[in-house]
Structure 1
Amino acid sequence: MNIVLWVLGVLLALHTAVGAAWKFTNSEQSVPSLNVIPHGVWMAMSGVEILCAIGLVVPAFYKPLAFLVPLAAVLIAIEMLAFSVLHLVSGDSTMGPMVYWLVVAAICAFIAYGRYALTPFS
């Protein structure tokens, strides 16, 4: 289980880092349902995502920071759930983005649970 959690964690870290880079180069208006997010918050989310990506992999090299993995996964899951709620509230009828965000949130929840309860600090 430990290997599965590390593989998922590294993949989530890559996904999150790419998402942060995308946010730096694209406006929130490029996703119509996220248009209500102010630009400053959009940019701040990029910084938080970079920190989360780092938090997901740093414990592989420095075990005392293992508490960062579930914390980072939960923060990413919260962001994905917030995107899903904004998508629903916007009235956008396409389900593709919301399904994507919910799948990422589920993976984050699995990583957080796995690192907190199943194989903590491994």
Structure 2
Amino acid sequence: MNALLWVLQVLLALHTAAGAVWKFFNPVQTVPSLQLIPNGVWQGLGVFELFLGLALVLPALYRPAALLAPLAAICIAAVMLLYCALHLYSGDPNHGQLIYWLVVASVCAFVAYGRLALKPLQSKNA
């Protein structure tokens, strides 16, 4: 289970970092339902997502930071759910993005549950 969680964390970190970099190079939102987000907030989300991507993998290098991974996963899931809410609010009939954001939020929820409830980072002797 620990290996699966690490694979998911690395994939989420890459996904999140790629999304953050994309936000920096595309300051104008191209997804119609997310055009409600002001440009400053959009850029701020990019910075926040870079930190979240780092927080997902930092526990691999520094074990005492183990709590960062599930917290980052919860934050990423919250951002994805925010995108879902904005999409539903906008009335956009195309739900492809909505499904994508829900899948990412579900993976984040699984990582957070695995790290908080199952606690595979802790040794059985500790």
TM > 0.5 fold call = yes
Query: Is 2:80 aligned against 1:80?
Result: yes
Task: Say whether the 8 Å CA contact 2:77–2:108 is kept in structure 1.
Answer: yes
TM-score normalized with structure 2 length: 0.94
Percent identical:
57
Highest CA radius of gyration, 1 or 2? Answer: 2
State the superposition RMSD in angstroms. 0.9
Task: Say whether the 8 Å CA contact 2:2–2:121 is kept in structure 1.
Answer: no
Task: Say whether the 8 Å CA contact 1:67–1:121 is kept in structure 2.
Answer: no
**Cα distance in 2, alignment partners of residues 39 and 29 from structure 1:** 8
Query: Is 2:67 aligned against 1:67?
Result: yes
Match of 2:58 in 1: 58
**Cα distance in 2, alignment partners of residues 28 and 82 from structure 1:** 18
Match of 1:13 in 2: 13
Deviations 1:22-67 (A, max 9, x none): 1111134311100110111000000110000000001001100000
**Cα distance in 2, alignment partners of residues 66 and 34 from structure 1:** 32
Q: What are the within-5 Å matches in structure 2 for residues 23-42 of structure 1?
A: 23-42=23-42
Task: Say whether the 8 Å CA contact 1:28–1:34 is kept in structure 2.
Answer: no
Greater per-residue helix proportion = 1
- Structure 1's consecutive aligned runs of 4 or more residues displaced over 4 angstroms after TM superposition are none
- Give ranges in structure 1 of 5+ residues lacking alignment: none
- Give ranges in structure 2 of 5+ residues lacking alignment: none
